[in-house]
Structure 1
Amino acid sequence: MNKIKIITDSTTDLSKEIYDKYDIEVLPLFVTIGDKTYEDFHEINAEKLYKLVAETNSFPKTAAVTPMKLEQTFQKYIDQGYDILFTSVGSKLSMTFNNAKIAAGNVTKNRVFLVDSNNLSSGTSLLIFKMIKYIKEGFSAEEVAKKVQKLTSNAKVQFAINTLEYLHKGGRCSGTTKFIGSALRLKPIIRVCDGGMIVAKKPVGFKRALGALLEDARSDLDIIDQDVVFVTHSLNEKDANYLKDELIKMGLKNIIITCAGAVISTHCGEKCIGILYLVKE
């Protein structure tokens, strides 16, 4: 059986330390602000993003990993004797996954195995951690891909949004237009559903929004897969630590705080924060 290489994109919002620990190749999406384009993760993070937006008064735009870059990366590792597991932001939210399908068709057959996460941010990373687990258990790349694809619908991924501006202008979530600007104290809970994003709840005030995230986790407590739980935020470390502490009080143990990168922050805005986990089959 060939060696296995996990390749993903920068929207998975893990730290460099985690990527390095598990030898994961990270391909950047792109963020354009004004007339300059940056590689997500490598050249720009959330802090730099918001600073540039304030300085330029330009709203950022994002772009997918290109088919050429994906093809080159796939072939490089195939030439080194690897089978490849690839996952990224979901196919309904970015062209990256569809570009990966094009790239996979242009390299050696039966060496690249794709998993459509139907998700974003560390929701995709939940699946990466399962890939790592199954590889350690001795499954082939093809077997891992099939097993992980079946888990995508088990991901519970939702975020509390502090500012509606980025979410609305980014155009990735239906249901925000009708209350943008008319209810500034609403701090909606955005949930990933069927590969897209919906407004799940509309708490008034951010404190209540955090409470809504915790209440949902408490309701799911008996069915949460405790291999890993993520708390992911965009420049909101204080609330991230608060959520982590509350989850620990519930009895959850393996909780990792991660920072949303520039691409995810472009669509969710500053202080956005979420709790992300898999539920048991």
Structure 2
Amino acid sequence: MSSEKIAILVDSGCDVPETLAQADNLYVIPLKIIYQDAEYTDKLDITAEEIYDRLPTEIPKTSLPEGAYIQTVFEQIVADGYEKVLAITISSGLSGTFNSIRLVAENFPMLDTFMFDTKNIGIGAGAHAIRAAELIDSGSSFDAITKILANGVKNSKIFFSVATLEYLQKGGRIGLVSSIVGNMLNLNPIISCNDDGIYYTVAKSRGRKKSLEKSVKLVKDFVGNHQKVRLFVAHGNAAKEALILVDALKAAIPQAIDVLYGQISPALVVHTGPGLIGIGAHILD
């Protein structure tokens, strides 16, 4: 364990695993989910399943946490005796959370805060928080950890196969993803985040099965000859397919140290709809 008092701060869009979310030094700033008649806090008082059930009648909106809430989290970090903060967020190209946290952090000069824009989303972003926690546990210094994080943005990659582009379009998160002919030709786009942290189309395959098979190949190509990698499979109401892909990834990349598996956060559900599958890897060597 590091001798320095280091806290990790993430937003709920990072989808960190529950085991890490329960750690004493992990603080989560939840995104907000807004319906016409009510407002909810991501992962706290609404589930992904509840959003799926309501999608046929209303697609909610998401918003940033209020500055006052972020302020309260920083105050708690100080009260808990931490001196340094690793603030890890989903891509600033997809959300204003990074900037909101940065602005509040300026009010806490007593904390040495490292702002880290992952240029990624979901567990592709959360993988960096997992890595940071491991480095803290191994005794790495704050300066060493910030250097590893800063140099490792390109080491985490996730590829998404979505059942429909409807929700990305309606939520204004379509980015550089082309959607003109996809539905007509049964072309399933595989989406990832580019170097600027914006969605773009990596490949297109005809039909769901081929799209998922192509995603596995993309992850395998990304990993290459690296021997220390962590794999992840995230899904949006597609558990059966996701579990099949866990086995497919293990077979394709047997050197992986582990495979993280889970449902995406309610806030991400809003923008992707049902049927999302995300698979990827974090290169650790």
Q: When the two structures are superposed, what TM-score results if normalisation uses the length of structure 1? A: 0.91
Aligned position for 1:169: 170
How far, CA to CA, are the matches of 2:60 and 2:24 in structure 1? 31
Unpaired runs of 5+ residues, structure 2, are none
1:7-43 CA distance string (max 9 Å, x none): 2111122343331146522221001122211100111
Q: How far off is 1:130 after superposition?
A: 1.3
Is 1:60 the counterpart of 2:64 in the alignment? Answer: no
Identity %: 27
Is 1:127 the counterpart of 2:128 in the alignment? Answer: yes
1:113-152 CA distance string (max 9 Å, x none): 2211111100111101110122123223343223212111
Q: Is the 8 A contact 2:236 2:275 kept in 1?
A: yes
Aligned position for 2:274: 270
How far, CA to CA, are the matches of 2:133 and 2:241 in structure 1? 29
Alignment of 1:94-243 (within 5 A): 94-176=95-177, 178-179=179-180, 182-183=183-184, 185-194=186-195, 195-224=197-226, 226-243=228-245
Aligned-partner SS, 2:70: helix
Q: 260-269 or 247-256, which moves further after superposition?
A: 247-256
Q: Is the 8 A contact 2:20 2:130 kept in 1?
A: no
Root mean square deviation of aligned Cα: 2.1
Match for 1:41 among 19, 43, 67?
Answer: 43
Q: How far off is 1:245 after superposition?
A: 0.4
Q: Is the 8 A contact 1:160 1:209 kept in 2?
A: yes
Unpaired runs of 5+ residues, structure 1, are none
Aligned-partner SS, 2:228: coil
1:190-237 CA distance string (max 9 Å, x none): 111121110111211111110111111232343456342110111111
Q: Is the 8 A contact 2:176 2:199 kept in 1?
A: no
Q: Which amino acid aligns with 2:139?
A: G
1:238-259 CA distance string (max 9 Å, x none): 1111111011112134001021
Q: When the two structures are superposed, what TM-score results if normalisation uses the length of structure 2? A: 0.90
Q: Which amino acid aligns with 2:157?
A: K
Q: Which amino acid aligns with 2:272?
A: C
Report how many aligned residue pairs link the two structures.
Answer: 279
Q: How far off is 1:168 after superposition?
A: 1.4
